[in-house]
């Protein structure tokens, strides 16, 4: 190809990359004009273009190879770590070719101190000769003043990697681990503590010999006793292997290495680490390392852990490189090996193995079926630990009650810390979660009773959400936890805006929380279908349907709830509870159809609901299930009545009334059943009135009245009770009006009015209440009916005064946009009867 | 020294070929010194920051009182070539050394992240880039400035004196071409 061709190819490449596939071919045909070589060139570059997006986009590689350090010349970079970079190097004096590893520390370490400590320790470090310890040859500073160490070059895999790759059994792993213990013991007897033992510092050569790297290096960088180096330590090392005393910044001894050996052994045997820290903050890491008790190796192997987005540790993955079968692995680990590992891992350095040799010996005992020294923690010891743990919870609770904000912040912080190592310390996590949850709910309910507590309550909810959100983003692996989370979101949603409860009136927020809960549970269900999860999910959809923003969305939620409940009922045929559950789902779905205005569909669903409720009550026979049957009858009766099927309506309503009357007789102290009865009676009255059976209707309403009065008088502050009482009087007034008993009718309406609006007419000037407008119009109706019968001009005049009053309330409502279209008919009637101006 | 380099740059852009020969070792020396310094200082996971390096060298070598827009552009052009040369020289030396030893895996640290970019064969890239420059010298310069000097599309456009859109187009097609050439050379 020549330069001219390249210009064509370049142009074509640029254009073709922006074309749709079908346009591309035609374009290439045109541009190449039969030249197959150009065509092939462009094709090959087009596919290269797709892969080359990131090509050359990063920085170019570094030029450091070839630099001379003392007698050594750098030949290649092996890797970069927290402390610095490690290079491969050769002796440069041509005397002999020996390859070594050179570790160059990063800038930012206390260079001068490191170098001087190295000089002090050099002798002892260089004198360590053990087949399982990597030799340290030399050290110095680079021309730029950075400390470096020349070490034996060891090629191999990390301890854990080696064992997994070779599918080592537990016994093989233990044998290899004993060699590590022996090497550590050798160093300890020379008073050299490693301080940074971890699998990646223990390489296993192809010959199967473990080699410990970097012995003594960590000490050069962190002198005893000072806090500052500990901060550095946590930043630059892997804190998962650090001992409690190390993260607390206390002086370290050989017992620190024993602890790290315990962590390594834990990982070697189980594939898990006792803690998986997600936070690198010192105090958070310290909290976990110093307080959380690790789970027993024999039980941790049952866990699934997501250690990285693309890396999951599962019971299968663990067992497959060890004993093959999970049960076998568990049997091997439980008992002696649990005790050995946990003894090495004890928080209290005094209670660990006193030397690496002792740990090694205990493993030897295990391997030879001799009794091991390690024992599980005694009961009094554990009980004491438990009490001290709970003292913390109690303290947190006390704090919270004393100061809402501070207390919750404390709980949330606790929870976050727990979250960092959640899969290791579930018990503790659960404590914190429960604590935080009970904060939110018990607290919220208490605080809600105080006036002016809105801000505080909102804060509680906001904090709880923050906490849950952060938890949710990191806990996708654990299904149980997911379900707990969903429950917590549901409860937050309830506090935000569940109608009928003390809530913050934040329906948008509630909707969001319920959606989160629903999303989580749908996911859990996909991964592990289960009855409980389905039940929980259906409950969430009911809530969603109740707080939904638009009628159509609520419809979808209610439908999903019904579908789930139907599945559950099908899975457990004949189970009365699942019938009850399906019944209540159908109830909510019918409500949605009523809101949509599809009364016929609502009726159909309610009839289905009746069947479910009857089946449930047959099995359960509880007052509650019988009450539900009555409720179902009443809902069908009310719908039939609306549709004008009065005979059907009366049939269902009478059956409902019979059940409620029976319940009232059986449970005379339970006000609920009397209230239920009152609804059945008033619906019957309503239907009879529409049938024109006015006297009968009146009788039913008069039976309603004493029940409603009782309720209203029992709690003068209960607005719903007052309203129900008032409405009964208004209905009675309406029927009396129909019957032409005008003065009685007006008296009944005055009763209705007084109950609801004790301030009288004067208080109505600014009223923006549609029910006020309705009652005012009711007065007008009665007087207008009287005028129509008697042609009495005074009645017409008075009727118009009431209609005028009603209309001004309707107008105020219209002006503020607070008038629902449902009232259009009522408003039209009122205005028709007003004098034309 | 700043004055020397500024003058040499001016002479070179005035057409004096000899000035470049004198300029090269000065720029090269400074860049190398800076490269080594930066390498030791960089955080793990980050490698050489070519842009910072070139800018720093520019500040050190060029007399800022007499600096003109053209000086800056020329300097970047030279610096990009220099960095390319430094890297290729090292890579050649590295390759020679590597032929001696086997390629065994060496684990050093859990946390170590060996960048994939390191696998890039700089010597092969250099060869491919030479071929590309014979087809399209401008594209060769664009790659040099973008990759070796770490300049952005806009900076590259400014240095060469063409539109950013052209730089972007040439850069994309050059990458595709180089990528394919390098994949070919991978095959036995």
Confidence of residue A291 (pLDDT cuts 50, 70, 90): confident
Q: Chain B residues with CB inside 8 Å of A158's CB?
A: 107, 110
pLDDT average, residue stretch B15-27: 74
The verdict on a CB contact (< 8 Å) between B106 and A82 is: no
Q: Using CB atoms within 10 Å of the CB of residue A60, give its burial: 0 to 12 exposed, 13 to 18 middle, 19+ buried.
A: buried
DSSP codes, A348-401: SGGGS-SSHHHHHHHHHHHHTTPPPS--PPPHHHHHHHHHHHHHHHHHHHHHHH
Longest dimension (CA), chain A: 133
Contact A129, A212 (CB under 8 A): no
The residue of chain A nearest to residue B176, with distances taken between CA atoms, is A49
Percent of chain A with pLDDT over 90: 24
The residue of chain A nearest to residue B108, with distances taken between CA atoms, is A200
Give the tokens for residue A447. 């605080």
- The number of beta carbons lying within 10 Å of the beta carbon of residue A353 is 23
Give the tokens for residue A159. 């301890």
Q: Chain A residues with CB inside 8 Å of B87's CB?
A: 60-61, 63
- By the CB < 8 Å criterion, does B178 face chain A? yes
The verdict on a CB contact (< 8 Å) between B175 and A49 is: yes
Determine the residue among A2, A9, A52, A233 to mutate to test chain B binding: the one whose Cβ has the most chain B Cβ atoms within 10 Å: A52
Percent of chain A with pLDDT over 70: 77
Confidence of residue A660 (pLDDT cuts 50, 70, 90): very high
- By the CB < 8 Å criterion, does B20 face chain A? no
The verdict on a CB contact (< 8 Å) between A45 and B39 is: no
Distance CA(A294)–CA(A269), nearest Å, equals 14
Strand partners, A91: A72
Tens digit of each residue's pLDDT (9 = 90 or more) over A17-31: 888 877 888 888 888
The answer for residues whose C-beta is within 8 angstroms of residue A270's C-beta and 6 or more apart is: A297, A300, A301, A318, A333
Confidence of residue B115 (pLDDT cuts 50, 70, 90): very low
**pTM of the entire structure?**
0.41
**Distance of CA B1 to CAs A794, B7, B27, Å?**
113, 10, 11
pLDDT surpasses 80 at A264: yes
A14 → closest Cβ in B44, B169, B175: B169
Confidence of residue A706 (pLDDT cuts 50, 70, 90): very high
Distance from CA of A69 to the nearest CA of B (A): 13
The residue of chain A nearest to residue B136, with distances taken between CA atoms, is A3
Question: How much is the pLDDT for A643?
Answer: 87
The verdict on a CB contact (< 8 Å) between A56 and B118 is: no
The answer for residues whose C-beta is within 8 angstroms of residue A544's C-beta and 6 or more apart is: A511, A514, A515, A518, A553, A554, A557
Residue ranges of alpha helices (H) inside A621-693 are 623-643, 646-666, 671-690
The residue of chain A nearest to residue B174, with distances taken between CA atoms, is A10
- The number of beta carbons lying within 10 Å of the beta carbon of residue A363 is 21
Distance CA(B34)–CA(B28), nearest Å, equals 10
pLDDT average, residue stretch A808-835: 83
Inter-chain contacts counted by CB atoms under 8 A, chains A and B: 181
Tens digit of each residue's pLDDT (9 = 90 or more) over A565-615: 999 888 888 888 889 889 988 988 888 888 777 888 999 999 999 999 999
**Distance of CA A801 to CAs A743, A765, A774, A832, Å?**
17, 14, 14, 14
Q: How many Cα atoms occupy the beta-carbon half-sphere of B5 within 13 Å?
A: 26
A63 → closest Cβ in B49, B87, B113: B87
Confidence of residue B67 (pLDDT cuts 50, 70, 90): low
**Average of per-residue pLDDT values in chain A:** 79
Q: Which of A89-98, A711-720, A782-791, B35-44 has the lowest mean pLDDT?
A: B35-44
Contact A151, A137 (CB under 8 A): yes
Question: If contacts are CB pairs under 8 Å, which of residues 48-87 in chain B contact chain A?
Answer: 48-50, 83, 86-87
Using alpha carbons only, how large is chain A's radius of gyration in Å? 40
The verdict on a CB contact (< 8 Å) between A14 and B86 is: no
Q: Chain B residues with CB inside 8 Å of A149's CB?
A: none
Contact A457, A511 (CB under 8 A): no
pLDDT surpasses 90 at A500: no
Distance from CA of A51 to the nearest CA of B (A): 8
- By the CB < 8 Å criterion, does B96 face chain A? no
Question: Contacts from A118-122 at CB under 8 Å and sequence distance 24+?
Answer: A118/A147, A118/A149, A118/A220, A121/A216, A121/A219, A121/A220
pLDDT average, residue stretch A778-800: 91
Longest dimension (CA), chain B: 54
Which one, of A688, A662, A687, A666, lies nearest residue A677 by Cα? Answer: A662
The answer for residues whose C-beta is within 8 angstroms of residue A13's C-beta and 6 or more apart is: A42, A45, A46, A49, B173, B176
Distance CA(A674)–CA(A519), nearest Å, equals 40
The verdict on a CB contact (< 8 Å) between B107 and A61 is: no
A158 → closest Cβ in B45, B46, B107: B107
B/e letters for A664-681, b = 16+ CB within 10 Å, e = fewer, are: beeeeeeeebbbbbbbbb
Q: Rounded to 5 degrees, what angle do the CA atoms A684, A686, A691 make?
A: 95
The verdict on a CB contact (< 8 Å) between B36 and A67 is: yes
Confidence of residue A775 (pLDDT cuts 50, 70, 90): confident
Which residues of A are the active-site residues? 196
Contact A678, A702 (CB under 8 A): no
pLDDT surpasses 90 at A757: no
Determine the residue among A47, A51, A59 to mutate to test chain B binding: the one whose Cβ has the most chain B Cβ atoms within 10 Å: A59
Give the tokens for residue A150. 């020349």
Tens digit of each residue's pLDDT (9 = 90 or more) over A339-380: 999 999 998 888 899 889 999 999 998 888 887 888 776 543
- By the CB < 8 Å criterion, does B176 face chain A? yes
pLDDT average, residue stretch A683-696: 93
Distance CA(B54)–CA(B129), nearest Å, equals 21
The residue of chain B nearest to residue A213, with distances taken between CA atoms, is B108
Q: Chain B residues with CB inside 8 Å of A213's CB?
A: 108
pLDDT average, residue stretch A661-668: 91
The verdict on a CB contact (< 8 Å) between A238 and B93 is: no
Distance CA(A608)–CA(A599), nearest Å, equals 14
Question: How much is the pLDDT for A691?
Answer: 92
Q: How many Cα atoms occupy the beta-carbon half-sphere of B16 within 13 Å?
A: 13
Distance CA(A176)–CA(A454), nearest Å, equals 63
Which one, of B107, B48, B118, B111, lies nearest residue A83 by Cα? Answer: B111
Looking only at the bridges linking them, the beta strands covering A68-69 and A72-80 are antiparallel
Tens digit of each residue's pLDDT (9 = 90 or more) over A433-489: 554 455 555 555 555 544 445 566 666 677 667 766 766 665 556 677 777 778 878
The residue of chain A nearest to residue B123, with distances taken between CA atoms, is A61
DSSP annotation of A78 reads E
Is the Cα torsion angle A526, A530, A533, A535 positive or negative in sign? positive
Q: Which of A215-229, A412-426, A739-753, B150-164 has the lowest mean pLDDT?
A: A412-426
A59 → closest Cβ in B41, B49, B86: B49
Strand partners, A86: A79, A103
Question: How much is the pLDDT for A546?
Answer: 79
pLDDT surpasses 90 at A88: no
The answer for residues whose C-beta is within 8 angstroms of residue A781's C-beta and 6 or more apart is: A734, A737, A799
In the sheet with A147-152, reading across from the earlier edge strand, the strands are: A68-69, A72-80, A84-91, A99-105, A147-152, A136-141
Confidence of residue A226 (pLDDT cuts 50, 70, 90): very low
pLDDT surpasses 60 at A790: yes
Give the tokens for residue A768. 């923006």
Helix, strand, coil in percent for chain A, rounding step 5: 65, 5, 25
**Distance of CA A297 to CAs A169, A610, B113, B160, Å?**
15, 54, 30, 64
Question: How much is the pLDDT for A251?
Answer: 72
């Amino acid at each position: 190809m020549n330069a001219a061709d390249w210009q064509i190819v370049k142009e074509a490449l640029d254009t073709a990359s922006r074309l749709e596939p079908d346009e591309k071919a035609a374009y290439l045909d045109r541009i190449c004009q039969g030249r197959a070589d150009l065509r092939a060139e462009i094709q090959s570059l087009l596919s290269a273009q797709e892969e080359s997006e990131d090509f050359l986009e990063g920085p170019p590689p570094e030029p450091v190879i070839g630099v001379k350090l003392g007698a050594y010349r750098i030949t290649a970079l092996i890797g970069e770590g927290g402390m610095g970079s490690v290079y491969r190097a050769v002796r440069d004096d041509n005397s002999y070719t020996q390859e070594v590893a050179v570790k160059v520390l990063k800038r930012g370490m206390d260079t001068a101190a490191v170098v001087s400590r190295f000089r002090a320790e050099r002798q002892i470090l260089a004198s360590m000769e053990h087949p399982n310890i990597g030799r340290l040859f030399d050290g110095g500073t680079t021309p730029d003043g950075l400390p470096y160490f020349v070490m034996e070059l060891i090629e191999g895999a990390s301890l854990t990697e080696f064992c997994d790759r070779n599918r080592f059994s537990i016994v093989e792993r233990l044998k290899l681990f004993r060699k590590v213990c022996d090497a550590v013991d050798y160093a300890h007897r020379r008073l050299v503590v490693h301080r940074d033992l971890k699998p990646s510092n223990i390489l296993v050569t192809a010959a199967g010999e473990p080699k410990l790297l970097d012995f003594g290096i960590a000490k050069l960088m962190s002198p005893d006793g000072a806090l500052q180096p500990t901060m550095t330590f946590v930043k630059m090392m892997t804190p998962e292997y650090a001992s409690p005393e190390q993260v607390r910044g206390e002086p370290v001894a050989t017992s620190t290495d024993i602890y790290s050996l315990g962590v390594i052994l834990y990982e070697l045997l189980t594939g898990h680490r006792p803690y998986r820290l997600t936070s690198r903050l010192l105090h958070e890491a310290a909290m976990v390392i110093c307080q959380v008790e690790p789970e027993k190796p024999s039980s941790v192997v049952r866990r699934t852990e997501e250690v990285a987005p693309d890396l999951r540790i599962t019971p299968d993955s663990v067992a497959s490189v060890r004993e093959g079968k999970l049960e076998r692995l568990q049997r091997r680990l439980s008992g002696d090996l649990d005790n050995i590992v946990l003894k090495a891992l004890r928080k209290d350095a005094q209670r660990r193995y006193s030397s690496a040799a002792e740990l090694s010996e205990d493993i030897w005992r295990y391997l030879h079926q001799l009794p091991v020294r390690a024992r599980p923690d005694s009961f009094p010891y554990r009980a004491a630990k438990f009490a001290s743990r709970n003292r913390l919870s109690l303290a947190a609770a006390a704090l919270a009650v004393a100061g809402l904000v501070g207390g919750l912040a404390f709980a949330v912080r606790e929870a976050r810390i727990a979250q960092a190592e959640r899969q290791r310390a579930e018990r503790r996590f659960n404590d914190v979660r429960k604590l935080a949850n009970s904060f939110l709910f018990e607290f919220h309910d208490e605080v809600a009773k105080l006036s002016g507590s809105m801000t505080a309550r909102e804060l509680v909810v906001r904090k709880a959400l923050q906490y849950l959100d952060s938890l949710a983003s990191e806990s996708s692996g654990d299904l149980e936890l997911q379900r707990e989370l969903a429950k917590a979101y549901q409860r937050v949603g309830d506090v935000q805006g569940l109608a009928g409860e003390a809530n913050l009136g934040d329906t948008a927020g509630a909707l969001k929380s319920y959606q989160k809960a629903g999303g989580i549970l749908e996911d859990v269900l996909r991964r592990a279908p289960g009855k409980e999860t389905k039940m929980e999910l259906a409950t969430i959809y009911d809530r969603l349907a109740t707080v939904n923003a638009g009628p159509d969305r609520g419809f979808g939620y209610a439908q999903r709830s019904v579908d789930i409940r139907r599945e559950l009922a099908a899975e457990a045929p004949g189970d009365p509870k699942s019938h009850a559950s399906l019944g209540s789902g159908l109830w909510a779905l019918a409500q949605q159809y009523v809101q949509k205005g599809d009364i016929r569909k609502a009726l159909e669903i309610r009839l289905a609901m009746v069947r479910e409720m009857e089946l449930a009550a047959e099995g359960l026979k509880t007052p509650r299930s019988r009450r539900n049957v009555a409720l179902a009858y009443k809902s069908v009766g009310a719908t039939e009545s609306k549709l004008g099927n009065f005979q059907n309506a009366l049939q269902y309503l009478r059956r409902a009334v019979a059940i409620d009357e029976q319940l009232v007789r059986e449970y005379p102290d339970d006000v609920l059943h009397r209230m239920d009865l009152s609804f059945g009676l008033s619906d019957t009255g309503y239907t009879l009135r529409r049938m024109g059976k006015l006297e009968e209707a009146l009788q039913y309403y008069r039976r309603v009245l004493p029940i409603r009065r009782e309720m209203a008088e029992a709690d003068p502050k209960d607005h719903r009770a007052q309203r129900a009482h008032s409405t009964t009087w208004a209905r009675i007034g309406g029927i009396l009006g129909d019957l032409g008993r005008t003065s009685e009718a007006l008296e009944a309406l005055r009763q209705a009015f007084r109950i609801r609006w004790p301030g009288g007419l004067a208080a109505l000037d600014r009223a923006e209440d549609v029910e006020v407008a309705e009652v005012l119009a009711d007065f007008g109706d009665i007087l207008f009916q009287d005028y129509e019968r008697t042609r009495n001009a005074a009645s017409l005049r008075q009727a118009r005064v009431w209609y005028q009053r009603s209309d001004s309330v309707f107008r105020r409502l219209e002006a503020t946009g607070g008038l629902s279209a449902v009232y259009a008919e009522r408003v039209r009637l009122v205005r028709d009867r007003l004098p034309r101006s | 020294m700043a004055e020397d380099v500024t003058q040499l740059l001016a002479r070179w852009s005035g057409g004096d070929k000899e000035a470049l020969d004198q300029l090269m070792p000065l720029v090269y020396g400074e860049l190398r010194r800076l490269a080594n310094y930066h390498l030791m200082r960089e955080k793990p996971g980050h490698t050489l920051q070519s842009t910072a390096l070139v800018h720093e060298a520019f500040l050190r070598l060029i007399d800022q009182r007499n600096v003109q827009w053209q000086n800056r552009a020329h300097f970047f052009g030279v610096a990009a070539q220099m960095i390319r040369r430094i890297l290729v020289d090292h890579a050649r030396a590295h390759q020679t050394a590597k032929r001696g030893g086997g390629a065994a895996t060496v684990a050093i640290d859990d946390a170590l992240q060996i960048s994939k970019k390191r696998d890039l064969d700089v010597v092969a890239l250099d060869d491919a880039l030479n071929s590309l420059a014979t087809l399209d010298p401008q594209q060769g310069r664009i790659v040099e400035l973008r990759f070796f000097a770490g300049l952005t599309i806009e900076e590259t456009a400014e240095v060469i004196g063409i539109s950013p859109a052209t730089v972007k187009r040439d850069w994309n097609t050059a990458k595709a071409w180089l990528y394919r050439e390098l994949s070919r050379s991978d095959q036995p």
